[in-house]
Structures are given as structure tokens and as C-alpha cells.
Structure 1
């Protein structure tokens, strides 16, 4: 096992900057996840660690050894690809043994290792089959097994679960976590799925546009995002972002207002007319009146006094125990672009598209972001 250090790594393709200024250290035995939207540089980082790409700038250390000029086959890392990359003409046993044979391991030890790996992954009964005779989940296990059989210092996993159906993906994710707990091998895992990142990682690295946005433990990053990009990426459904203006001790969105908590006024020393983005997660928004009652209220009642937000429902999505409501905040003018908001309500609430509802934001759970830079200003 080994630690992995990336020191100011950048990678450029002609005029395109794929990654820039990447710095982090994965301690020995930890499970780190690189997460972010498509094209943010996750796989480029992984391939650079593996030696399949060459960094334009920077240094990579594996087990405290500089590996910049060491070819991929000599870095003692094992990589599992998204498409599994199994040899179709070889049996499962031969696929598992391939890396060991390339390294000159003797036949007896190779056979022992294959049996150990197959047993740990519950694929002993598949050893004589060819990849085309396997399901997606079985192929995924074989790809992992081939990596494990080599006993590498580092595992590199590039979206290995993306081709699996939802149930198998959940099951395999749990198996993968148990496998890491048992083997304790340093692992770097790439995914765009935030659920995988939150459930698997000791620490997550949030990337966007080739740069690191934040590194930390999953719950810490979720609760204390450094900027708007991180806040909106983590969480399902994602955080609502509402453009706001401060005035007369109130938050104003369109012509609706919310009382600004004293703690925010004191910390940020807000100025009249100051603009910013207010972030709040759907689980911190509550329905305060039933749709029947709200629809009976005068449409302009909220135009003059600070009241909870009034919204009009666009789409409802039943999710079993609860319903996800996608709505728009009512505005004073029909020509003004409405702001979207989403929140969750108990499944027994009778809500329909077109209903007008009143919702209340838990102002103890809000985030304030700089509207220009996106940096977190509060809490």
C-alpha cells in the first residue's frame, strides 16, 4: 500500500486546459473520490496518476517515489475502466490471471491468488465462462478481481458502476465499500454520481472546469460548501439558488420579502440595495398552507407586507414517501422572469400543477453566496 501525492499537476491539450493546479495527498489506505460534472477533469487526473497521460506541469509521487518518468506498467497501480476492458477470448480465470502472468508470477501462486480473489468476489462459479456469458454486474466483479489479483499499491477506479442498473449499482457499491474495508488498499475513485461520492469516500474532491473547488469529508463538504458550485452539486434534489436584494432589514425576491435574521445582518454588515444569492436545500422548505386555502387568498395580499414565499406549482414528482414539487415564485409583473424553486412535501398532500402555495424557508439553514464570485459568505 502507498500514499499518492499530486503536486501542482496541470494537463493541456493544444489550446485546451484539461486540469490546472491540482494539489492533494491521498494517505495510505484511504478511499478518495473525485467528483464533478462531465468534462471537469476527473478521468484526466486518474489517467495521469496511472501513467496513461503525461502531466504538462507538476509532479506525481506514489509511495513517496517520483513517478513522472516511470511508465504505467511499473507504477504498481491497477486501474478499472468504465467499460471493464475484459479480454473477450479469455475465460474469467484467464482474465484474472493476465496481470500476474505479465509480471512473471509462477503458475502455482497465480492459481492460489485467482481462487482467493474469486472467493472474495463470489465469482468462483464463473471461472470457466467467457465475458460474453456474464451479466454486467458479473463483468464488473471480474474487472475488479483482475485489479485485486495484482495486489497493487493503489487502485484507480474510473466510473466502474456507470453501466449497471440501479439496483445492481446500489448492491455493488456496498460490496465495493466492504471490499475496501477488508483490503485497506489506497483507492482513488472517479464518478459524476454524488450519491456514490457521499457513500463511498473517506474524502471527496469536488472538481469543476479542471480545478479543485473543495476537498473534505463528505458530510463536512455538504454542510459547509465553499462556494455556490459545490453547494448546488452536492445534494439530491439540488440546493435552490434565489437571487436576492437586501433592503430595510428584509430579503427581497421580486416584490416578496423575508425577514433577514439579525445574525446575518451583523456578520455581513449588509448595505441597502446589496445583491447576493440565497441558497436553501429543498428539505428546509415547508408548506405552510394547503393549496385550497392559498388559492382563496387575494393574489396581491403579499405585495405589501413581509410574508412567506408564495409560489405556483409547475410539476409534481411522487417519490413514494414524499412528493417533489417544482414551482416558480410569484412575481408582481407577468413579464418578469420567475425564479424556480423546488421542495418536498408529504405524499398525502393533495397538490396539482397550477396550485398556488405558501411555503416557509427555514432561515436557520440558509446560505448566502456572493452573486458575482459565488463564494460562500454565510454561514
Structure 2
């Protein structure tokens, strides 16, 4: 089998899609079934799998500025497929896989991974220019794809129903947490966490882009209802990409920081993230909508109890190992947060159950099941 894998998501900031692409590429490189693996990004082939830096580089600010300009976004949308098609024109005997929604014009078989439908179902949570671009491009992908991959069964069914796309051509392939996420001894965490002003076991954690879909204001509402002694003993620490449509969220965070019970760290280096997870007393993730919810799995792999919402795909990811409630139920969320922080018996059980549950997910399983999708497409 010959494969062209788009590795464009492997860049700063390395979000969930970038991590998925990188981990999948690492394992596909070792597959004896793939006789020729080509990495593709932009409009050219790369000599090797790239790695994402922890700095944005000089072009990142320019890219963000361009994304806010409608004419620039539209010009990019119209021009890039032509340039990509030209670069791919002699590869029709390859299978093309995009791990990040977009499929260029391609003469061979093609597969795309849809991680969620937020550009359609949660469009109000994204920048308008980006929504217009995504909606046009993703509809084009549906016209071009021979098969689709989703991270969860929830997204598989949502995708099929929303677009009336044949469900037998959509394949669920779960993600996994990376090997860097594992339980650590608190003694070993003292020095690295001190760089962020943190003490192991003395904080709750949220990880994710600071955007409305993550339901951070509800999390702040619920945390604010905890007894003051509890939330100052175990303050809420948030980290993730700065995000969009979040002015009110950041105002709330600044107010909570002045009161001494919450703090936003910004986007931390990737090597520090597993340390932040394993040093947390509790992981809180009341997201409104997730195609998978990888941070929940990363927390469980780190030996940290989880409180999350029961929305979208999160019950699939969390199993029976987390405390869950309706995403907008502030009173119930407060109750679960307090139990997650104080109930020693539940915490011990949740840690054990979480480690067992997340062991069923692996990047090798993800690669193996992705290869099965490739086989189905090539044979079909």
C-alpha cells in the first residue's frame, strides 16, 4: 500500500489534532503494510515527519492576522487546492489521508478524519471568517472522500445524520493518551511544577482552548460556589491556547485570580503538560461539546480523578471512571467538584478505574484500526 499522509497539523500550537497526526504518523512509519509513506504539508512533500516547536515562530502572528481577513481567507481557500492538486498529480496510485478534515483535489482514493462538527453545530463559538472557510471546505471534503474516520461513535452518527452521509462509509477510530501521561511521584514533580508556582497535589486542573464551547464560565460559577477554604486550598489552574470569543472568560479569570482561587497559565510547553496533569488533585472538564475529549483520557492516564460533563462523546471517553453531570448544571457540578476533592474513598476508586479504563486506548490500536480503514477503501 502507498500512502500520502497530510502532516500539516503538526505545528505550533500542538493541539489535539496535531498530537493525533503525529502519533499516527509515528506508527504508520513502522507498518510493513505500507510500502511507500509520503508526508505532505502545504503544497509540498517533506523529507521526514516534522515536530512541533513550543514557540510560535515569526510567521504565527501573521497567520493569525490573515485568518481575520475575509479576502485573504477566501483567496487561500481558492488558491491552495489548485497548488496542492498540482503537487499531488503524479500520486494517483497512492491513498491520501487527511487527519484534519480537508481533502484537496486528488485522482486516487482518499480518506479524511472528522474530529467534530463544531463549525456547523457550534458555529457561534468560532470566528466568523473561519466558520465560512470551514463550512465550505468540509462540504467539499464530503464530496471527495471515499471514506471518513471519526474519533467517537457519537461523532460518527452525528456526521451521518447531519449530512445524510452513508454511515457504513464512516469508521470510528478512538484516540489515545500518549506515553508521557502516567502517574508520577509528587517528590519528582516539586521542582518542575515550582516553575509554574504550583505544588503537587494542591490544585485542580482544566486543560483546553479558552473558548465558549469549553464551558469555562460554568466551571468558574461552580468553583466559586465551593467553600472559600476549599477553593483557596486547591485553586483552579487553567492552561491552553488563548482561544477566541473569550473576553468575558478572561475577565472572570482575572477576578478569580485576584480572589486567590484560580489562575490561567497560558499555553505551556508540551513537555510540561504531562507534569501538570500528574500533579493535579482533580481534573475538571465540563465541556459543552467534544468530538472525543482527549484531556479526559490524559488525566486518567496520569492517575488523576476526573469530573466532566456528560455531553456529546465524553461518556464514551470517560466510561464509568469519572463523575459526570449535565454541562450547564452549576449546582450539581459544584457538588461533584467538592466530592472529587474531598471524598478519599471515591478518589482511590476513580484513580484505579481510570487507569484500567484508559489502558484499552492506545495509539497502536488507533494506527491498526486506521490501517483497516485504508484496506477497506483500497479493496472497495
TM-score class, shorter-chain normalisation, is under 0.3
> Computing the radius of gyration over CA atoms, which structure comes out larger, 1 or 2?
1
Q: Taking structure 1 as the reference length, what is the TM-score of the superposition?
A: 0.26
Q: Taking structure 2 as the reference length, what is the TM-score of the superposition?
A: 0.26
Larger helix proportion, structure 1 or 2? Answer: 2
